[in-house]
Structure 1
Amino acid sequence: MAPFLDTVKSFADVPITDAGVDTAAFLDASTGVLGLFDILGSTAFAPVTSDIKGNISKVRARYEATPAQSATLEELVKNEQGEKKRTATEGLMWLLRGLAFTCAALLTAQADNKVELSTAFTRGYEQTLKKFHGILVKGIFTVAMKACPYRKDFYAKLAADPTGGPPAPESKVSEELDKWLAALDLIVKRMEAFYEKNGYNKGF
C-alpha cells in the first residue's frame, strides 16, 4: 500500500467541464479529507470531521436521489432551488467552508516549512471559518488548533508506508500535496463564486 495521498482520490482528479464540477468525484475526494484529519490524530478535531462527514452525506443523498439532475455540483444546487429546505445546498455550502479551512491551513504549512501546524491551522481558521462562528464554536476550534501534532510528525505520517516499507521521499509527498491543494483551492473558489453570484448562500 502506498502512502496516504496515494490511497485517496485527489482533487486534481476531479473532472471540471463547462457544466461544472463532477459531483461523484468531488464527494469521493472530500471523503479523503476525513483521513487527513485522522492523521492529525486529535480528538479535538472531532467536531470538524463530524461536520464534514455530515455535509458530505447531505450532498450525497441528494445526488443519489436525483442523479440525472445532479451530475455536477452546480446542477445539483440549481435543481434544488425552490424547494423548502434546500438541504444539499446548505450542506455543500458548509462542506466547502470546511474544505476551505483545511486548504488554507495546509497551504500555509506548505508555503513555509518552519511553520508549525498549530499556527497554520489557526491562520487557516482566521481566513475562512471564524467569521461564521459564534463564541462557543470559536472556543472549540481554539482547543483543536492547540492540539495539532508537531509538523514533523504529521508529514512523517503522510509519507509512511502502512505495509512497513520505506517512507516516500519528502519531495514526493510535498509535490503530491501541492497538486491536491491547488486543485482543491480551485474548486472551492469556483463554487464560492457560484454561490455568491446566484445568491445560493442566502437564507441559511
Structure 2
Amino acid sequence: MKRRREMEKGSEIQSAIEELSLLIKLKTSDNHDAALIPTRPFLYVCNLVIQVLDKIGPTMAVLRQDINQNVQKESDEANARKGASCSKAFVWLTRSLDFTVALLQRLVKDPDQEMEEAVKDSYNITLKPWHGWISSAAYRVALKLIPDTKAFINLLKRKDENNDTLAEDMETFISLLVPILEEIHSILIFYRLDKLKST
C-alpha cells in the first residue's frame, strides 16, 4: 500500500529512482560467490516497467506478459529451488531492463525521434541477438502497434510535469540503473548465463 501511495504522488520513473537510490552499491569483486544481486529493488523496478507497459495498452501485452511471468518465477520461493528456471527468469528480466535503458537513452538524446525507430534500435542491440524466430515475430507485430513518441512521453509524465523535468528524471534513472546492470552482467558472464537464448 505504501508504494502505491508513493506512486500516486510521482511517476513510475521517480518511484524507481527512489528505490534505486536506497540500494547499497554492489561490491565489485572477482569473487562472484560473494556478489550480491539486489533482488528486491531489481524486481520492484521490473514491476514499474510492467506498469508503464500497462499504460501503453494492449500493444505491449506480449512484452508485459513475458516480464510479469519472469518476475513471478524470480520471486516465487518454490521456483527459487529450481535453479535453471530462476536463472532464466533473471537473465530475461535483466535483458528487459537493458532494453528499457536503451530506449530511454534514445528518447533523452533525441526527444523528437520516432518511437518506432527508437524501439527498433533498442531492440536490435538488446533483445534481438537472444530471440528465436517466434519471439522476433511477436516483436514485429508489437512494433506496428506502439504509440507515437509524444503519446509515450505523456504516459511517462505526471500530470503537472514538463518534458525537461521528465528528461532529467530519465537521466537520473539511467545513471542509477546502468551500474547495477553492468554488475549483474558480469555475474551472468561468470556463471555462463550470458549467452542464454530463447527457445
Give the TM-score normalised by the residue count of structure 1: 0.77
Does residue 1:170 correspond to 2:178, yes or no? no
- Distance of 1:21 and 1:2 partners within structure 2: 28
CA RMSD of aligned residues (A): 2.5
Alignment of 1:1-204 (within 5 A): 1-5=8-12, 8-10=15-17, 12-15=20-23, 16-18=25-27, 19-41=35-57, 43-62=58-77, 85-161=83-159, 167-201=160-194
- Distance of 1:39 and 1:143 partners within structure 2: 19
Shift, 1:171, TM fit = 1.5
Check the 8 A contact 1:12/1:184 in 2, yes or no.
Answer: yes
- Unpaired runs of at least 5, structure 1: 67-79, 162-166
2:181 maps to a residue whose letter is V
Q: Secondary structure, in 3 states, of the residue corresponding to 1:157? A: helix
Identity across matched positions, percent: 23
Cα distance, 1:159–1:85 mapped onto 2, change above 3 Å: closer
- Unpaired runs of at least 5, structure 2: 1-7, 28-34
Aligned residues between the structures: 181
Shift, 1:99, TM fit = 1.4
Give the TM-score normalised by the residue count of structure 2: 0.79
- Distance of 2:97 and 2:82 partners within structure 1: 26
Shift, 1:196, TM fit = 0.7
Check the 8 A contact 2:13/2:170 in 1, yes or no.
Answer: no
The aligned counterpart of 1:71 is: none
2:89 maps to a residue whose letter is G
Deviation readout 1:158-189 (Å, 9 max, x if unpaired): 2243xxxxx21221111111111222222222
